[in-house]
Structure 1
Amino acid sequence: MADQTIPDYETIRAAVAGETWAVEKVLMCYKDEIDRQATVKKRQPDGTFKLEIDEDMRQYITMKLIEALPQFPLEEMEREEKRNRDKKS
């Protein structure tokens, strides 16, 4: 997840408000992490294991992320955004 870009403030604010484009952008930012979390080992007929993405688990994680967006602590992010703007001035 270290190489993923965190969504900008405006995108997160729009996602919290339920804007479809912003929710989709947030999901795309975390797609790799969601896939990683939904990856499971499946035993093959020859006894070896294969890593696969469990689609039900991926959809469940995605749904939980979407459900959690309205509870995102925007106030903290707004304070941080204001501090960053003040530093630049």
Structure 2
Amino acid sequence: MVLSRGTVINGLRGNYKIEKEDLHRGGMGIIHIGRSGNGQVVVVKEPLIKFNKDDAIRLKKLKVEAQILANLDHKNIVKYIDEYESG
């Protein structure tokens, strides 16, 4: 899935609409700004690497990253909220 302005993402915990695309591009992904269904501003990370559903090792690594982020709680680290799968 290529995320662009107006795209709605159906996460595991809610829906999010992309409001500003390509806020930043890095070596591992693209950062977008979105809004949750309740109006909260959110940051969306879109991996640059496109995964095949058969690519179990890479998908598992992303799941582990999501679990680690979900357990972090620090004022200088973006709070993990949700995840989604595309494709």
Shorter-chain TM-score category? 0.3 to 0.5
Say which structure is richer in strand.
Answer: 2
Question: TM-score, normalised on structure 2?
Answer: 0.32
Greater relative CO, 1 or 2 (CA 8 Å, sep 6+): 1
Question: TM-score, normalised on structure 1?
Answer: 0.32
Say which structure is richer in helix.
Answer: 1
